[in-house]
Amino acid sequence: MVASNLETELRRSAETTAKSILGAARADAERIRSEADRLIGDRRREVLRGKEAEYDAEARVAMAAERHSAMRALLLARTRVVTRVLERARALLPDAAQNETYVSTLGSELTEALQFVDDEGAVVRCSADLAPAVREGLRDRPEVKVEPKADIGTGFVVIGAGGSIHVDGRLETRIDRLASVLAIEIHKRLEES
């Protein structure tokens, strides 16, 4: 009986020890699982933050590229508008050179241009259509010669004696000089509309 009690006691002790070991193992397993879940969650959040930052950076680059492309297209379109406006203005120059307002101011423009050259030996070249108005503007300065030229364009060119000084009063030249100012003004007006 003592052997049977001993055996029962050993069995109970073994079961208690086994339950204790099993409980400790379960607790360790739960702690490891919990720690693993926490580490996996931390790693997942870290990876997601990295991916979000990567996608955010890619999105910013893509948006900047699209913005740049849109701005380029807009600038090209505006530049085409400026080019068309300047081409149209140049096409109107022959009519403008015959305009009463231009012809009436021609005398003062010639006087201003002739300030840069000596009257003696000076030549004013202009189109054949404009020659009568130029001669009229220079009626007080008979020493200045008027030479009609077919290829001069609109307006006039004053050439000093010896040909060393040229004062370009052609309307085409004026538009060319004003092209950048006109382009800025056209761009400004396009932005306002």
Phi, psi of 158 (to 5 degrees): -100, 130
Domain count, the chain: 1
47 within a domain of the structure (yes/no): no
Cα 144 from Cα 163, distance rounded (Å): 13
pTM of the model: 0.61
Q: Considering the domain boundaries, does residue 42 fall inside one?
A: no
Would residue 27 count as lying in a domain?
no
Higher-confidence residue: 6 or 19? 19
Does residue 192 surpass a pLDDT of 90?
A: no
Q: Which helix (H) or strand (E) holds 92?
A: helix 2-98
Which residue range forms the structural domain that includes residue 123?
A: 99-192
CATH of residue 126: 3.30.2320.30
pLDDT at 2 over 70: no
Q: Give the whole-angstrom CA distance, residue 156 versus residue 143.
A: 17
Tell me whether residue 40 is in a domain: no
- Burial class of 140 by CB neighbour count within 10 A (0 to 12, 13 to 18, 19+): exposed
Q: For residue 173, is it within any domain?
A: yes
Q: What is the residue-averaged pLDDT of the chain?
A: 88
pLDDT for 33-66, tens place per residue? 889 889 888 888 998 898 898 999 999 999 999 9
In a domain, 126, yes or no: yes
| Cβ-based burial of 134 (10 A; exposed 0-12, middle 13-18, buried ≥19) | buried
Q: Identify whether 176 is part of a domain.
A: yes
Q: Is 116 domain-assigned?
A: yes
Cα angle for residues 56, 58, 63 (degrees, 5° grid): 95
